[in-house]
Structure 1
């Protein structure tokens, strides 16, 4: 007998579904909602995902069982893909999806215009981490925001108090070391973009930390320096519920269905206990969460920064649970004797952590204890396990899967008997000479009535009874329903054939299920209507509107010294201070005044540049600096932060939207223009061809990044402090240069800002000096040189080189001599790259 579903209060439990089996596992184990992806435009392209027929089935299957379905359309959308993405949204809307999870601002704009009734959820890929950002999305028509994982419980609760939007947070599963939506590591190194669903997870690879060109190898730390532990808030659910968020999300669309079943089942129980005020977690539940998958666990940022406690330096994949240590190993028989601290069974998987060679993994096919072959060995017994390898006494052994746990999980989604049941009531009315009539009702008040094909007759023997009817009408084992109450109104002793009663039950359940599915589907938007709406929302042609004699040469500077060198060399616009990378101390108002003054003296425009990550408690200081810059004569504001964009547009200065907003298509530019933006800096993941299209159709002037160290990660985690310090900030980054060195000996520079956030940069410098003519021909109005990590001497050399090359290109000549190219290349010992201008991203 399955568990009858009851009305619940408390937050929504939202589960991942990477395929059909996982969807069934989530629903049958108690999820209130599932999130899944179509075959295109979702951030987990590596999952099996759902085709159109599968999506239709999934939505109906879930809705019949009172479970909501949110579909991820959470990648950046190229202009040539936008119409296909809109058609996918139309299909999802017509099928009755309860919401779509979106990253791309341009797609969000079209969704609101074309499908205004479709609920929009802002993906965590939007990097929403402050209240003004949430409120901006509220104004754009979003229903829910998935907050950045980097927020602590007080920040989450404060945002909740300040908005009417639904909020969603992650409570279990894998963590990214970088803010979601801000990672270009996989993209820049391997061409596989996380913003396009193709992340290759370079953060799970080994690195060494380099300080002042010397490798730091703290003893026993490990080499997976960017690999976080998995998030696990199972012990913290009362505190989680106290934040007031609407939905609790389990990560894992790339996980197997057994994982989904196990984690959802346990969190369903724990949330219900927390809501009822009787919260506890059993040792078995803790054990099973660890056994099904873990990279070790942490509470993430929920209680604040954990320092090294956030990371699993030793390994980037499933750790399993500790089983015991090797007591002895017989190399001839190839058998290890392990004293087990928990049950071990045939069919389980184990890892031997050997002294040399890493790990040896094996499935236990045979098992011996006390000289006998056994199927199971209890805790405290020495188990003899056949295994081959350089195993030694003292080696640790971990159980990486438990076959019995997997079997129990598998039964919940492979058995034809459903685990979760919706309670039904039935009323039977019978009169002699009339069809027997049954009315079935569900908790939402839906009711269907069916009648027998034959009339009831007076019974000579064995008349219909309530007990008899309850038995036959209640045979609902392979359905999502459970008959919990039956009322009978039978006039006299009546009888109808048993087959008619069974047919009544079948038809009533089919009608009720069909009605539930139909009610979730809205009045569809026909293709013809969609076509008209697409035409109305499409971009107008803006060709030539923003042509300039030559594009502005803009320099992103982190220090006053680089700023001085840049303006002296002829930079026409300065972006400063950003995160203030390279400064020993914080950027003060006096430093800002000096920066504006230096620009004015040189005839260069000063644009106040905000950090890309600004939490609510940091906003006022940032706005104070913006006001100082404004009073001193700044020419505008540059921001890649949604919340600050909303606040700064109230000031009477031009507002520039920066590339961390992932400006990837014309529709995003249109939306930003409606928000008061004057100019945009495009995503560095665009090709030159895509840039040309954007410039041609965009209603705003367009800047591109032409040169410099491209930032590929920003993180609340500090690798320098984690390896050499403790939980608190030890300021080890001051006065030193740091880099991460990969397996190939390539160094990725690291910088740390005054908020102790870590910024990782690509090993190779972007350089478009010899293709400046291509950028000018595309029609861009600004060329940015990102010189935050560079010296004043470097700034002087590069600004001069680009200024000369621009002048030559404007005059139709080849702007870079072979000698100058050689000299500029030599300034980048890590090498140079064209970024994605010619190769693009997957």
Structure 2
């Protein structure tokens, strides 16, 4: 059975040491730029070099996350940074941006690349697509089941990495625009403000709260992933790397989690049939940090059982209930061991009150510094009442143990060295050392051995001196001593030889572990040729852009065409509670559009898993018989599947995150005939792009901010929990999520029971349409899948009139906004996310 790599996070050098000393096989970290955890400490270049040398000398790999979207102005700097990382010796770089993928495979194909979970790769077709483009390993979306993961491994043969512990995103990674659109802090740019951890109220469309039973108001806050009990199954699935989330976490957290997974994984590999958790493992994991635990989507969609409604941060472990309060002390029977210095929280009706335990008294008045579980104790707590719950949020002894693991001068993670010494009267001492990788170092001293008068050299003396390896990643494993005669050498001579040999071993090891140095002139030549090719593209000033309208019903399609749409887009997801757009109606829409000369695209679902491939393939074959003008594809697997099944032209949707010219070049290489650019781009960034494909931009509609396997409505009102099926209340009512600013985010559920959360404000750039012409944009899209035919007519007519110079955009925009329930926004066209 293949042994998977245990991959740990590090947001600081201390966390790196914690990961290495507690058993990680590899560590992923970020630099100061281009990293999806911009609020971690991260590593500058000097620290990065030191991190690589530290890890490599302990036989641990280093992966660097450069996993944000990059605009055209940033790509050159990112390429230079990856070149520096390559020569510094990193083992791989984790990326999200497709443009960076193309650039690196053109100018630095020697560098190993891993596809970040931000790429939203979730099926075998997508894995094959990015693998053929130069990706060595794929980090799958967290929503992929264990069964599908095993199928992907078998079908593709590509290295697969999955998350096994830590924070979960409620949305598919790489598909979330919520933080971006609300506050300009983009998750795709490493600056997520985590709006999912805030409080929300489930409401009707008009804002009336719905009567739901839940322990708290954090309706979008998931529990933490914990798969300790699933390790044998994860190994059996053939996963190459098991990834722990947590680059924002403190080093003690990294130490505790990595140690427990290391120990459990070793037991699983030794005997998967008899594997079971050791006492205390889950307790330690929960104590160091938890929002309650879940195994995520590995086996099923857990519904409400994946959520942490009560609180979005560390909840600690249940300690006990207050039994009595007397003279400033509370009495409780502790479910856990308790020590002075531990942190506790009392959960009171209005919130939580936390404190640090300064003293512990037993029932007979005895003062103690610690107690075992099951003891009744008296604690000084200035909060709570009888019956209130008390949680232990900090374990002083556990944290001290964790801290010692990475601060002690005596390292646990060391490499064995094999020493051989020859010594004789009249000869210098010769020391040979060999490490576990087979590197041999031989050094000779300057002192000529003398006949011993009192204390001749012995193997015991040699062992004592040579084992003094101090703060190095080595320990003496074996010593072979060939001492001829009674000879004497100064102890300082032996120490000098040991120091010289170890330093030379370190130098040789760094040279071997570092990547072969790519000569700068070769790299610069490749970069120059790549830039020359990119600069040869000229901006195409388009005619006035054409108008595309994405609709959700046959009536809306007819309305869009009659109002002047140049293209309609149908298919993809349809939302529960709205009239179904049947296959027969879709075929009718294609026929109708072709009769009047209107372009028509059929959209594929935004996301789909292994078990749905055949259904989508059958759908594609049927669609091809209708002869539409093309397919709208929104994930990498859909591109590959559509190319394999049909010969229809492909148009890339905005969900592909085309953020720079090079990403559009890669999409062109993949066979796309048109691309929709990211809605996070500004006009200024669009101006800097040189796109060889016809480009489209979104100009109107409620942009989906999240797409999630978790449905809040189903969990809160439909009974969806564990294996319980949902009663699908979404078919009978429209709901939203109201935030603390009283904005209502419309919530829709599609045919796959995925939740779509939309922006409260509609995007509207009706008064800026002529700017798109200057930028060479050929298509403008209105998102109108949820709109009735009458609304579609009003929208399309307004945009048609402005495009045809028959009306003033500002005036029409004002009129439309008055009819909007929550107003308009210009999105990122002016403010951006840089």
- 1:96 maps to 89
Decide whether the 8 Å contact of 2:318 with 2:391 is kept in 1.
Answer: yes
- 1:679 maps to 674
In the TM superposition, 1:503-522 aligns within 5 A as 503-522=496-515
- CA shift, 1:22, in A, is 0.1
CA distance in 2 between partners of 1:617 and 1:567 (Å):
36
| Mapped pair 1:825 → 2:817 | yes
Classify 1:496/1:327 alpha carbon distance in 2 versus 1 (closer, same or farther; 3 Å): same
Classify 1:585/1:617 alpha carbon distance in 2 versus 1 (closer, same or farther; 3 Å): farther
- CA shift, 1:630, in A, is 2.0
Decide whether the 8 Å contact of 2:601 with 2:630 is kept in 1.
Answer: yes
Select the residue among 799, 803, 822 that pairs with 2:796: 799
User: Post-superposition, which runs of at least 4 consecutive aligned residues in structure 1 deviate over 4 A?
Assistant: 582-588
Select the residue among 755, 770, 779 that pairs with 1:773: 770
- 1:470 maps to 463
Larger CA deviation: 616-625 vs 778-787: 616-625
CA distance in 1 between partners of 2:796 and 2:291 (Å):
46
- 2:310 maps to 314
Decide whether the 8 Å contact of 1:582 with 1:788 is kept in 2.
Answer: no
- 1:295 maps to 291
- CA shift, 1:526, in A, is 4.5
Decide whether the 8 Å contact of 2:576 with 2:751 is kept in 1.
Answer: no
Decide whether the 8 Å contact of 1:593 with 1:628 is kept in 2.
Answer: no
Decide whether the 8 Å contact of 1:427 with 1:438 is kept in 2.
Answer: yes
- 2:331 maps to 337
- CA shift, 1:718, in A, is 1.0
- CA shift, 1:584, in A, is 5.0
| Mapped pair 1:121 → 2:125 | no
| Mapped pair 1:409 → 2:402 | yes
1:607-633 deviation per Cα after TM superposition (whole angstroms, max 9, x unaligned): 111111111211222232222222112
Larger CA deviation: 527-536 vs 706-715: 527-536
1:624-681 deviation per Cα after TM superposition (whole angstroms, max 9, x unaligned): 2222222112001111110111222343222111111110001101111111111110
Match of 2:426, SS state, is coil
1:782-806 deviation per Cα after TM superposition (whole angstroms, max 9, x unaligned): 0000001222111111001100011
1:591-614 deviation per Cα after TM superposition (whole angstroms, max 9, x unaligned): 321221232233211111111111
CA distance in 1 between partners of 2:434 and 2:774 (Å):
68
Decide whether the 8 Å contact of 1:561 with 1:792 is kept in 2.
Answer: yes
- 1:48 maps to 41
| Mapped pair 1:834 → 2:830 | no
Select the residue among 599, 605, 608 that pairs with 1:611: 605
- 1:572 maps to 566
1:361-401 deviation per Cα after TM superposition (whole angstroms, max 9, x unaligned): 11223333333443223323333332334x21110000111
| Structure 1, gaps ≥5 residues long | 1-7
CA RMSD of aligned residues (A): 1.7
- CA shift, 1:823, in A, is 2.4
Decide whether the 8 Å contact of 2:576 with 2:730 is kept in 1.
Answer: no
Select the residue among 635, 642, 659 that pairs with 1:641: 635
CA distance in 2 between partners of 1:43 and 1:156 (Å):
24
- 1:5 maps to none
- CA shift, 1:586, in A, is 6.4
- CA shift, 1:217, in A, is 3.5
CA distance in 1 between partners of 2:679 and 2:524 (Å):
31
- 1:282 maps to 278
- CA shift, 1:131, in A, is 0.4
1:122-171 deviation per Cα after TM superposition (whole angstroms, max 9, x unaligned): 00000000001100111111111001110111100000001232110010
- CA shift, 1:544, in A, is 4.8
- CA shift, 1:569, in A, is 1.4
1:282-317 deviation per Cα after TM superposition (whole angstroms, max 9, x unaligned): 221111000000000000011121111111111110
CA distance in 1 between partners of 2:697 and 2:99 (Å):
19
Classify 1:585/1:31 alpha carbon distance in 2 versus 1 (closer, same or farther; 3 Å): farther
Select the residue among 351, 370, 373 that pairs with 1:376: 370
CA distance in 2 between partners of 1:10 and 1:785 (Å):
50
1:21-65 deviation per Cα after TM superposition (whole angstroms, max 9, x unaligned): 000110111100000000000000010000000000000110000
| Mapped pair 1:440 → 2:437 | no
Select the residue among 771, 777, 785 that pairs with 2:782: 785
- CA shift, 1:585, in A, is 7.4
Larger CA deviation: 644-653 vs 752-761: 644-653
| Mapped pair 1:245 → 2:239 | yes
- 2:647 maps to 652
- CA shift, 1:814, in A, is 6.2
Match of 2:323, SS state, is strand
- CA shift, 1:463, in A, is 2.6
Decide whether the 8 Å contact of 1:428 with 1:438 is kept in 2.
Answer: yes
Classify 1:726/1:544 alpha carbon distance in 2 versus 1 (closer, same or farther; 3 Å): closer
Decide whether the 8 Å contact of 1:589 with 1:625 is kept in 2.
Answer: no
Decide whether the 8 Å contact of 2:36 with 2:187 is kept in 1.
Answer: yes
Decide whether the 8 Å contact of 1:806 with 1:815 is kept in 2.
Answer: no
1:507-528 deviation per Cα after TM superposition (whole angstroms, max 9, x unaligned): 2222112211111223333444
Match of 2:702, SS state, is strand
| Mapped pair 1:668 → 2:663 | yes
- CA shift, 1:108, in A, is 0.9
Decide whether the 8 Å contact of 1:582 with 1:789 is kept in 2.
Answer: no
CA distance in 2 between partners of 1:586 and 1:477 (Å):
72
- 1:590 maps to 584
| Mapped pair 1:632 → 2:629 | no
| Structure 2, gaps ≥5 residues long | none
Decide whether the 8 Å contact of 1:807 with 1:815 is kept in 2.
Answer: no
| Mapped pair 1:562 → 2:556 | yes
Decide whether the 8 Å contact of 1:229 with 1:296 is kept in 2.
Answer: yes
CA distance in 2 between partners of 1:839 and 1:472 (Å):
65
In the TM superposition, 1:174-213 aligns within 5 A as 174-213=167-206
Match of 2:622, SS state, is helix
- 1:325 maps to 321
Decide whether the 8 Å contact of 1:558 with 1:583 is kept in 2.
Answer: no
Match of 1:763, SS state, is coil
Larger CA deviation: 751-760 vs 30-39: 751-760
- 1:148 maps to 141
- CA shift, 1:582, in A, is 5.2
In the TM superposition, 1:61-72 aligns within 5 A as 61-72=54-65
- 2:342 maps to 348
Decide whether the 8 Å contact of 2:71 with 2:660 is kept in 1.
Answer: yes
CA distance in 1 between partners of 2:161 and 2:236 (Å):
13
| Mapped pair 1:60 → 2:53 | yes
TM-score for the superposition, normalised by structure 2: 0.96
